[in-house]
Structure 1
């Protein structure tokens, strides 16, 4: 098999982290409205609701913390992009005014170990 036929390791890890995060958020009572929603300007990892608030959730996954906390990877530039994308999502889905919150879910998924999840509501 060529390397082009296999997804890059970080993409596989990212997908695994997003699945873990989505499952975690469902357990907290959220309904997943969109996963990996894409438009020309970028992608939103998770768009959820608890019935009162629309939550845009950025998921960051790491196998170890030697590069710092996964949530630290959500930079000011990324925050600005996510906010713009949220506006696009609202427009495409014809959602008018609603309560909106931006969360981060940090997932530690060590090989052979159980994943640890840290949900940070209102992270930005």
Structure 2
């Protein structure tokens, strides 16, 4: 596995632990279809939450949250509808969150969680 892929996988594991510690139940991860991928699908109360995770080693090339564009958020909304349909779940309240993680591998990861960005 490439170092970038390893960093991404580690970031998604950190994100899942972070969410679970806050009472947000992860129900799926790395769901793929021809139109894209959802990093994490979770449930927070009655909300279905689709979560994009961006992990970087440092902020040298910008904050990881800056890498999530409006186009990406719109695609995540479409993917959320597709995921819900495939899994026989009603959408009810849908929320899209973004987690930005800085993990240099030496110190405690820095996690920023933006709720309801779209």
Q: TM-score range by the shorter chain?
A: over 0.9
Count of residue pairs the alignment pairs up: 118
Following superposition, the deviation at residue 81 of structure 1 comes to: 1.5
The two structures, once aligned, show a CA RMSD in angstroms of 1.0
1:15 aligns with 2:9: yes
* Alignment TM-score, normalising by the size of structure 1: 0.90
Following the alignment from structure 2 to structure 1, what is the Cα–Cα distance between the partners of residues 22 and 44?
Answer: 9
In the alignment, structure 1 segments of 5+ residues that lack a partner are 1-6
**Cα-to-partner distance string for 1:66-121 (whole Å, 9 max, x where unaligned):** 11110110012211221111111011011124111000011110131111111110
1:1-124 superposed matches below 5 A: 7-124=1-118
* Alignment TM-score, normalising by the size of structure 2: 0.95
Following superposition, the deviation at residue 49 of structure 1 comes to: 0.5
Bigger radius of gyration, 1 or 2? Answer: 1
In the alignment, structure 2 segments of 5+ residues that lack a partner are none
